[in-house]
Chain A
C-alpha cells in the first residue's frame, strides 16, 4: 500500500514554551541537587593537584586560612633577622621553647554566626591530626578527620564512620616539618635570641603594634596586630584583612590568634584558640583508624554476610578465570563505527570513548583518511588495530594510573582542540555513566564497583550499601540475585542478577535513585571463547543497544601508558615536593626576602616559569587584558556584520578599548603590544583559531595565546605556535593538537 504518511502534529513554539511551566521537579530531588552542588564547591579538585594534601588533612577554606597564617608567620622566620620592639617577645620566646605539641581550635564567624570549625593537633616531628566540622542538618558536626605523617595517613568521617588508610606519596609537604609549623604558629623564630631588626613579609617591612581593644572572650589577653610599614602594601595578602596575636598578660603565653578575612558583608572573623600544652589520649597521634570506623579501602567483601560472600567469591573467581581481555564496543546508533575500546592488563584497566563523529564526517568529506566501517564479526586483530589508529580521536578516557583512577577529557563541550585533564582520586559519582558500557561495569561489575576502586575509592560522606540475597526465581534457578540498599544517598538500590550457568556473568543490573527513577541494563546475547568461557556480546541499556567484540589476553603495555599530550596534574606537585626537600636540606639557598626570588617552576611543570612575583603578576594582568581585548574584538565585529578590525588600535579609536588596554604589562616596550591575527568570521571552526598572542622577539620558551573563543593556552613549542599562526587564517579547519600545550 502506498500513500502519504500523516504529518506529525507540531505545535506552535509559543504554545510549547507556555507548557514548560508544567515542569515542576520534585522538591526533595531539587534540594538534594542543591546540596550536592554545595558539596562540589567545597570539595572541588585543585588545578595541578597542588594542594592535594589539604584534601586529606584540611579541606575547608578555614584550613587554608590557618595554613596561610602559619606560612605567613613562617615568612618572618625566613625573612631573617627580625625582632619586635616590645620586650614581651623575648619573654615569650623563652617560655615557648621546648614545646612539642600544639592544639588549635579554629572557628570562623560570620557576624555572630559560627560557620566553620576545624581542630588541628600538631606533634613534632611530622604528625598532624585534624578534625573538620561540616554543616549537617543545620548544625556543625564533626565530619572529616585525618592523621597524616610524611609516610602514612588515615582519613575517616565521624558521621558515617567510614575511613581508609591512604597513600602519602606526593601529598604532604608541610607535614614533614611539623616542628616548623609549631615554630611558625608560635613565632619562635621571630623571637630568636639574636637581634632582629627587619621583619619582612613578602618583602614588606612589618611590625607588631599593640592593640587597645580587648579580646571579646578573654579580656585579659594582650593583642599585637601585624601591621605593614608601607600603608600601600598590607602585611597579608587579600582576603586577609588583619591578624592579631593574643598573649596571656602574666605568662606571656600565646593564647589566641584572630584573623579577619574579606570585607563588608563577606567579612569573616576567625578565632584560633591555641593550646601549647594539649592533653591528648594515648595513641592520639597513631596513624590508625578509630576502632568504630569501617575501613572502606578493604573493599566490600569484608562486610558481606556469609551467603552473599559466597556469591561474591564465585563471581570474583570467574572473573579471574577469564583473565585479561581486549574489547571493542559499538553502540547501535553509530552505524558501524566503534564507540569504546577497553583492555586490561593485570591490575591495569583502561577504557576510551571514541569520537566516531570524526570518522563519519571524514567519510562525507571524501574519506581521505581511509576510515572503514568495522563490525563485531571482523577478525579481532583487525578491529584492535583499527581502533588504535592515531587518528581515532578520543573524547574521554577512564584508566588506572599510578594506582588511582584518572578521568581524562580530550574535548570539553565538544569545542575542539583543547587539552584538559582532571585527575580524580577515584571515579566520582556521575562519571560511571560514561563508561557503563565497558565490560568492567557490565559483565563483572565488582559489586557496587565504585566501592571497590582501591585505593581512595570511596566518598567517605556517602553511606555504604547493605547487601543481601534477592528472592530465588523458580523459572530461572540458575540465576542469583544480590541487592544492595541504603537509606540515604543518591543511589539507594542496586540489584545484580548473576547467571551461575554462564560463568557467573552479571546479566542484569538495576540501579534506582532516590526519586524513583531506575536504570536497567540487560545482557541479551552471550559469546563464548575457545575455552568455553562466556562473555556478553550484546547488551541493552534502556533504548540503547551495545555490541561487543571481545578477545581474551592482555593488551600491550603501551596501551596503559599515560596519554601523550595530556597534562599530568601531579607532576608539578612532585616537582614541588622535590624542591621542598632540597630547600630544607640547604637552608642557605633560601632567599633573604620573598620579593623577587620566587622559585621558578621547573620546565614542563606549571605552565609559566616566572622567577619573581612582579613578573607573575604582570603575566596575570597581561592574560586578563588579552581576554578582554578578545571580547571587545567580538563585540566590535558583532556591530560590523562580523567584520573584524584591521588592527587593535581601531578598537581604541572607536571607543571599545581605552588606550591603556593596549599596554602590555608584561612587555611594556613591546611594539605592537600584542600579536593580533585578524579573524575571518566566514572560516569554519572559527572559535578554534588563534586571535591574539604574547609579543616576543626571540622565542621565549612559552607563549601565551588567546583563541577566538577567548580561551587562553600556553604554547611551549615554536613549531606548534607557527602552525597556530598559519591555521588562524587558512581556509580549512585547524588541526587538533598532539600535545605541547597546556590548559592554564
Chain B
C-alpha cells in the first residue's frame, strides 16, 4: 500500500510549512515577550488611540512573522520599531484619506477617554503627527524614537549609523523641518521621501 499524496501537496506543503518556520514565529513571540509593551506604548503615542494601537500591534506581529527580512534581522527590535512607526503613519495617512472610517472610529473613545488623555493636548499631538507624516522616513524615525519612545541620542545614533552628536543635530534639524512644515507646508522644505524597509 502506498500513500497517495499528490505532487502539489509535496511541493506546496514544504514551501508553505517551510514558511511557517518554527523558529520564525517564535522569534516574533520572543520579541513580543521582551518588547511588546514598549511597542504598544509607542503605537499608542503615535495613534493616540489604545484600540488602534492594539490592532496595529497585531498587524505588526503578523507582518513580522511573514517577513523573511525580519527573520534575518540582526536587531529584531530595531526592525520591529521601524515597522511599527511605518504602520502607525500608514494608519495616520489612511485616516486622513478615509475620513469616513476615522470619524466613526473617533467615537470609540469619546465617553471615557483614557487617563493620559487629560495630560496632553491630543489635538496638538495629532497635528504634529500629521505633519510628521510628510517628513522623510529618517526624520520621522528620529522624532518617533526621541519623543515617542524616549530613546537616548546614543540609541538613535546606533540605529541611523551616526555619532551621538550627529543624531542630536539631525533631531534638531528634523524639528526645524517640522516647524517649517507646520507653518508653511511647502514641499520644497521637506526632505525628499525615501522608501525604506520595512
Report which A residues bind B (CB closer than 8 A): 10-14, 16-27, 29-34, 36-38, 40-42, 44, 46, 50-51, 61-62, 64-65, 67-68, 71, 74-75, 77-78, 108, 110, 115, 173-174, 177, 179-180, 183-184, 188-189, 202, 237-239, 261-262, 266-268, 331, 333-334, 339, 353, 355-357, 395, 413-414, 430, 433-434, 436-437, 513, 515-520, 541-544, 576, 579-580, 582-584, 587, 590-591, 594, 597-601, 606, 613, 616, 631, 634-635, 638, 641-642, 709-710
Contact = CB atoms under 8 A, between A and B. Distances in A.
A638 B190 CA distance: 13
A34 B32 contact: yes
B9 to A, nearest CB: 7
Given A22-B120, A25-B114, 11 more contacts: A18-B147, A19-B124, A38-B32, A65-B17, A67-B17, A239-B18, A437-B104, A543-B106, A579-B6, A579-B8, A638-B194
Across the A-B interface, the 9 shortest Cβ-Cβ residue pairs? A542-B107, A34-B36, A266-B23, A584-B4, A583-B6, A262-B23, A598-B11, A17-B147, A599-B7
Q: Is the interface of B mostly helix, strand, loop or mixed?
A: helix
B57 interface: yes
Nearest to A61: B22
Interface in B124-145: 124-125, 127-128, 131, 143
A13 B4 contact: no
Contacts of B194: 634-635, 638
A174 B13 CA distance: 12
B105 interface: yes
Contacts of A13: 128, 131, 175, 178-179, 182
Q: Which of B8, B18, B178 neighbours the largest number of chain A CB atoms within 10 Å of its CB?
A: B8
Given A41-B29, A41-B65, A24 B121 contact: no
Q: How big is chain B's contact interface, by range?
A: 35 or more
A189 B2 contact: yes
Contacts of A357: 97-100
A20 B94 contact: no
Contact of A237 (B14, B44, B112, B128): B14
A19 B150 CA distance: 11
A334 B21 contact: no
B37 interface: yes
B124 A16 contact: yes
9 contacts: A26-B114, A44-B65, A61-B25, A331-B100, A414-B93, A517-B109, A517-B114, A518-B111, A583-B7
Interface string B139-161: 00001001110100000000000
A20 B32 contact: no
Given A13-B178, A634-B195, A34 B1 contact: no
A709 B196 CA distance: 11
A441 to B, nearest CB: 12
Interface string B15-34: 11110111101111100110
B6 to A, nearest CB: 4
Given A38-B29, A40-B62, A41-B62, A25 B55 contact: no
B185 interface: no
A413 to B, nearest CB: 5
B184 interface: no
A329 to B, nearest CB: 11
B105 to A, nearest CB: 7
A143 B176 CA distance: 54
Contacts of A355: 98, 100
B121 A16 contact: yes
Contacts of B18: 237-239
Contacts of B179: 12-14
Q: Which of B20, B21, B22, B99 neighbours the largest number of chain A CB atoms within 10 Å of its CB?
A: B22
Interface string B38-77: 0011001100101101110110111001100000000000
Interface of B: 1-18, 20-23, 25-29, 32-33, 36-37, 40-41, 44-45, 48, 50-51, 53-55, 57-58, 60-62, 65-66, 90-91, 93-94, 97-101, 103-112, 114-116, 119-121, 124-125, 127-128, 131, 143, 146-148, 150, 175, 178-179, 182, 192, 194-195, 197
B9 A68 contact: no
Nearest to A710: B195
Given A23-B45, A544-B103, A591 B7 contact: yes
Q: Which of A23, A62, A202 neighbours the largest number of chain B CB atoms within 10 Å of its CB?
A: A23
B197 to A, nearest CB: 7
Contacts of A180: 1-5
A171 to B, nearest CB: 14
B19 to A, nearest CB: 9
Nearest to B18: A237
Contacts of B8: 576, 579, 598-601
Contact of A542 (B66, B106, B148, B195): B106
A267 B150 CA distance: 34
A582 B9 CA distance: 13
Contacts of A23: 41, 44-45, 48, 116, 119-120
Nearest to B65: A41
Given A24-B41, A50-B12, A61-B20, A517 B108 contact: yes
B75 to A, nearest CB: 14
A85 B178 CA distance: 73
A331 B103 CA distance: 9
B36 to A, nearest CB: 3
Contact of A583 (B5, B25, B91): B5
Contacts of A594: 7, 10-11
Nearest to A265: B23
Contacts of A41: 25, 28-29, 32, 61-62, 65
Given A25-B41, A33-B57, A17 B128 contact: yes
A334 B195 contact: no
B4 A71 contact: no
Given A16-B124, A16-B125, A23-B45, A34 B40 contact: yes
A183 B62 contact: no
A17 B143 contact: yes
A189 B5 contact: no
Contacts of B182: 13
Nearest to B61: A37
Contacts of B94: 413-414
Given A37-B58, A68-B13, A333 B99 contact: yes
A177 B25 CA distance: 29
A36 B58 contact: yes
Contacts of B65: 41, 44
Contact of A22 (B57, B111, B119, B197): B119
B5 A71 contact: yes
Nearest to B100: A339
Q: Which of B20, B37, B97, B179 neighbours the largest number of chain A CB atoms within 10 Å of its CB?
A: B20
B3 A184 contact: yes
